[in-house]
Amino acid sequence: MSAIQPLHIQHDLMLYPSAPFNFDGTVHKPSHFPSSDNVYEEGQYWQTMRFKGRVLGTRMVNKGSIDEPCVELSVYAAEEIPPDEIKRGSDEIEYRFDMKADLSDFYRKFADDEILGPVLDRWRGMRVMVNASLYEFLVIATVLQNATVKRSVQMFENLFQRYGSRVAYDGRDLSVYWPPEAIHETSEEELRALKVGYRAKQLKRQAQPFVLGELNEFHLRTLLTDELKPILLNIYGIGPASVWYLLFEVFKRYDALDYISPWERKIYSRLLFDKELVDTEVILDEVSARWGRWKMLAVHYIFEDLFWQRKTQHIPWLEELIRL
DNA sequence: CATCAGGGCCCTG
DNA sequence: CAGGGCCCTGAT
């Protein structure tokens, strides 16, 4: 990996998300594993991104409130950026943080829901967030597979060290993703040296369609879920567990939940039924009956609410499941 | 020391 | 459609 690159050109602009907007609940997801391409502090979020061939640093600062949202976005780069590219970058950030969403129906409908209601009170205005491109998210999904959190983090950081780069801006020093070409050109053996095991083959096969221009994230966003899902499942290494992470986080499909993995099953059993282990079919029927087309968003609220609680209080049964 | 499951998926029979 | 195999790690 090369030296740290300073990003000393800075552009500031204001973003106005639709209200209500919960800044902290949106930019920071405590259930996600930590990674060196972003930092969160209350009211502030730093995130690098590789966008349209350019390496950017971003900083978002909360300048508003839940009912009068305002976010100051600073974009940092190594060289001057034309205004239209700044605009495209900020549009992309608005998309990734779902800033223009209208969830009023969701809040109205479930205000009195016995499980969701109290959570909505705490997190009204929280949005679905993705801090990666589609290609980058495939890497995340891949390192998550069949691994504990600790190992996922290790594989991920090994990849950053070998193929990514480092940038410095606003007093921060963060990793940046590599372009898919970097993995396309490397060998499976080199990848395996980073302890990713059988995932080396997946990582290479996943980079290919992006290098060849066969998958266009912006086009995919326009598709109906029924058209989109089979395309995503067709990506090598993407199966039933990963596909709904993609549909929900990358493509903002609020109903994308039709598979529950073993560790999630244990968590939902507790939260929805107050039991240790409930049949996955029963859980899926329950979330569909309760929350219908909002089921994944509903579950997301409940899940993140739990992990925010974990920051300040010890939840023994949860600690046992996370296995860092 | 050996064995095994872990925040899956592919491939085969 | 069921089940074995795959990489590596840490728990037992």
Taking the C-alpha atoms of residue A42 and residue A61, their distance in angstroms, rounded to an integer, is: 9
- Output residues with Cβ under 7 Å from nucleic strand C: A 146-148, 150-151, 154, 192, 195-199, 201, 323
Task: Break chain A into its structural domains and give their ranges.
Answer: 7-105, 134-229
Contact A75, A58 (CB under 8 A): yes
* Domain A7-105 shares a fold with domain A134-229: no
Q: What token pair was written down for A144?
A: 């998550």
State the nucleotide closest to A145 in CA–C1' terms: B8
Alpha helices in chain A (DSSP H): 23-27, 83-96, 104-110, 116-123, 134-144, 149-163, 180-185, 188-192, 199-211, 217-220, 225-233, 240-245, 262-268, 280-291, 295-312, 316-322
CATH class of residue range A7-105:
alpha beta
Q: Does domain A134-229 have CATH number 1.10.340.30?
A: yes
Rounded CA–C1' distance between A248 and B7, in angstroms: 16
**A43 — alpha (psi -120 to 50), left (phi > 0) or beta?**
left
Cα–Cα distance for residue pair A244/A250, rounded to 1 Å? 9
| Residues A233-255 pLDDT 10s | 999 999 999 999 999 999 999 99
Query: Beta-carbon neighbour count of residue A40 at 10 Å?
Result: 16
pLDDT tens digits for chain A (324 residues)?
569 999 999 999 999 999 999 999 999 999 999 999 999 999 999 999 999 999 999 999 999 999 999 999 999 999 999 999 999 999 999 999 999 999 999 999 999 999 999 999 999 999 999 999 999 999 999 999 999 899 999 999 999 999 999 999 999 999 999 999 999 999 999 999 999 999 999 999 999 999 999 999 999 999 999 999 999 999 999 999 999 999 999 999 999 998 888 788 888 999 999 988 888 889 999 999 999 999 999 999 999 999 999 988 888 888 877 766
Asked if A34 CB < 7 A from strand B, the reply is: no
Whole-number distance in Å between A264 CA and B6 C1': 13
Å between A233 CA and C11 C1'? 33
Strand C contact nucleotides, protein CB < 7 Å:
6-11
* Burial of residue A262 (number of CB atoms within 10 Å: 0-12, 13-18, 19+): exposed
Q: Estimate in Å the CA A242 to C1' B7 gap, whole number.
A: 10
A31 touches strand B (CB under 7 A): yes
A33: which nucleotide lies closest, measuring CA to C1'? Answer: B7
Portion of chain A with pLDDT greater than 70, in percent: 99
pLDDT tens-digit map of A161-214: 999 999 999 999 999 999 999 999 999 999 999 999 999 999 999 999 999 999
- A212 CA, C2 C1': separation in Å? 36
Determine the distance between A184 (CA) and C2 (C1') in angstroms. Answer: 34
Provide the β-strand partners of residue A38. Answer: A47
Q: Measured between alpha carbons, how far is A175 from A225 in angstroms, rounded to an integer?
A: 32
**Cα distance between residue A135 and residue A139, in whole Å:** 7
